[in-house]
A = this chain, B = another copy of it.
Amino acid sequence: MIETPSRILVVDDEPSITEFVSYALKKEGYEADVVDNGEDAFALASSNNYDLFVLDIMLPGMDGYELCRRLRSKTTAPVLFLSARDTELDKVVGLEIGGDDYLAKPFGVRELIARVRALLRRGQGGEFPGASNSITASGITLDEDAHTAAGDHGEIDLTPREFELLASLMKSAGKVVSREDLLRDAWGWEYLTETKTVDTHIKRLRDKIHAAGYDPGLVETVRGYGYRFKA
């Protein structure tokens, strides 16, 4: 199946966020354009065919809601809102306006990509029930939809964070992933968390992998660089 990459427009006035988001999207194979205000966003959207919009609610001038309302007159492409706070009010308003999904800051790369993928799939003629969204390596399969990890010996029960962590590692199976990258992927861009915290989660992850009857050595330590999931 030949696929042309989906085009995404990212609208946010904070460079640190647009950069984080566009980097994550590009790495995933999407085409991403960035603008820092609603006016330019609307102009760009009018002259281009975007498959998805990622909008911050708080924007100088025309805010995200207003922009979304206007976009709706032009296109049916899905809209993913970013919000500073995960307040109930925002959520309701956003969804009423025609926003399709919601992401509260701070969010990790993996969470972002998951939402984007879901929205794009939805847009392109419904979901494919068979096309499960999973990662497999070294006998472990991670089902991203069901949020489960399992292998021959049955399921490994993981907390959300542990799941994200394992997913980050397995996605780069065979490659070293630094603690910083893991924090970016599984935690978020504003990782105020200590890199040491990753160590603790790795330990817990290994324990659970072990308890479920698998080899805890699947998560390898690469001294001085980070961790690596055995390929």
What residues of chain B lie closer than 8 Å to A117, measured between beta carbons?
none
Interface status of A130 (Cβ within 8 A of chain B) = no
CA distance A72 to B23 in the complex (A): 16
| A145 is an interface residue with CB less than 8 A from chain B | yes
Chain B: CB-nearest residue to A175: B145
Contact check, B176 vs A145: say whether CB atoms are below 8 A apart: yes
Please give, as numbers and ranges, the residues of chain B lying within 8 Å of A224 by CB-CB distance: 159-160
Q: Are A147 and B29 in contact (CB under 8 A)?
A: no
Partner of A98, one of B19, B96, B231: B19
A189 within 8 A of B: yes
| C-alpha gap A97/B16 in the complex (Å) | 7
- Is A126 interfacial (CB 8 A cutoff)? yes
Q: Which residues of chain B come closer than 8 Å to A174, judged between CB atoms?
A: 145-146
Closest to A133 in B: B175
A23 to B126, CA, bound (A): 7
Q: Pick the residue among B72, B146, B176, B231 that contacts A15 (CB under 8 A).
A: B72
| Chain A interfacial positions (CB closer than 8 Å to B) | 15-16, 19, 23, 26-29, 31, 34, 72, 76, 92, 95-98, 100, 122, 125-127, 145-147, 159-160, 174-176, 189-190, 192, 222-225, 228, 231
